[in-house]
Amino acid sequence: MSIIFIKNNKGGVGKSWLTLQLAHATSLLNKDINININNKVLIVTTDSQNNILDFAGLDIEIGAGLESWIYKGDGDLIRLRNNLEYIPLGNSNFTPTFKNKIKSTLYSLKENYDYIFIDAVPVAGLDKEFEEIADKIIIPAFMDVVTLQGINKFLDDVNIKKVKAIIPNRLNNTAYENKLLNEFKEVLNGTTILVTDPIPQTALISNLIAKNKTVWESSSKKIEPIQEVLGSVLELIVNEK
């Protein structure tokens, strides 16, 4: 059982969308090659925007979110897909009590799930406790100088062993982006961090989002390269200790 934290302090890089794609993929897989039962997956968030619900196509009023689970041990549990559930966040006011209890709350939730994915807020440090609980960290990224500087700073501060992959997302395939991507790959060459092939900024994805579908709910041939990129990350999530 692992806790996966999808983090970048930069906004709009695709944290929430990618969290849903990776969590959904995980929930479609069997627990084990010998067991014909799917993984049970939970998504929680440190972002009160709750964009996961938008991407999953649910328009739901948030009642008792993660705060309630922390203070009362009970709260909203929203079914997104088969074997895929979501606990929303009512507000990002992380009181000292909230911070103290987050670990034990996630650990008790962990008993009912094979994987917990955490969709992070684009603010440095705000969800540090979640980062500390996480077993693995995945970083979606733009290929621009400012975002890469932010990632370098994040990598300096974090337990680097937890960082499994960086997913360049929303790329426009410009010469400049490709140059930065190659330089960045070079810098991380020799580490255990996978820099995946880039995911383009594409109408293919915007259209799927507009239809409230994940990439695993599309039968279009054109989506296959994107499924492959996500598949390379999935392997690190489900196979690697």
Q: Please tell me whether residue 201 binds ligand ATP under the rule CB under 6 A.
A: yes
Q: Tell me whether residue 17 or residue 69 sits nearer to ligand ATP (CB atom).
A: 17
CB of 11 to ligand ATP, least distance (A): 3
CB of 227 to ligand ATP, least distance (A): 13
Integer Cα distance of 143 and 157 in angstroms: 20
Q: Please tell me whether residue 12 binds ligand ATP under the rule CB under 6 A.
A: yes
* Token pair 């410009």: residue: 174
Q: Tell me whether residue 17 or residue 113 sits nearer to ligand ATP (CB atom).
A: 17
Pair 117, 4: CB distance under 8 Å: yes
Q: Please tell me whether residue 51 binds ligand ATP under the rule CB under 6 A.
A: yes
Q: Which long-range contacts (CB under 8 A, 24 or more apart) does 94-97 make?
A: 94/126, 94/127, 94/129, 97/70, 97/71
Q: Tell me whether residue 8 or residue 114 sits nearer to ligand ATP (CB atom).
A: 8
Binding pattern to Mg ion, positions 43-62, x when CB under 5 A? Answer: --------x-----------
What six digits make up the tokens of 3? 């806790």
Site for ligand ATP in 74-103 (CB under 6 A): none
Q: Tell me whether residue 47 or residue 85 sits nearer to ligand ATP (CB atom).
A: 47
Number of residues this chain uses to bind ligand ATP (CB under 6 A): 18
- The amino acid at 226: I
Query: Which residue among 8, 16, 83, 214 contacts Mg ion (CB under 5 A)?
Result: 16
Binding pattern to Mg ion, positions 68-107, x when CB under 5 A? Answer: ----------------------------------------
Pair 53, 43: CB distance under 8 Å: no
Span interacting with ligand ATP, options 78-86, 101-109, 201-209, 228-236, rule CB under 6 A: 201-209
Q: Residue 118: which of 137, 140, 91, 103 has the closest Cα?
A: 137
Q: Residue 233: which of 153, 145, 166 has the closest Cα?
A: 166
Q: Residue 164: which of 29, 27, 4, 31 has the closest Cα?
A: 4
Integer Cα distance of 146 and 142 in angstroms: 9
Q: Which residues here bind Mg ion, judged by CB under 5 A? A: 15-16, 51
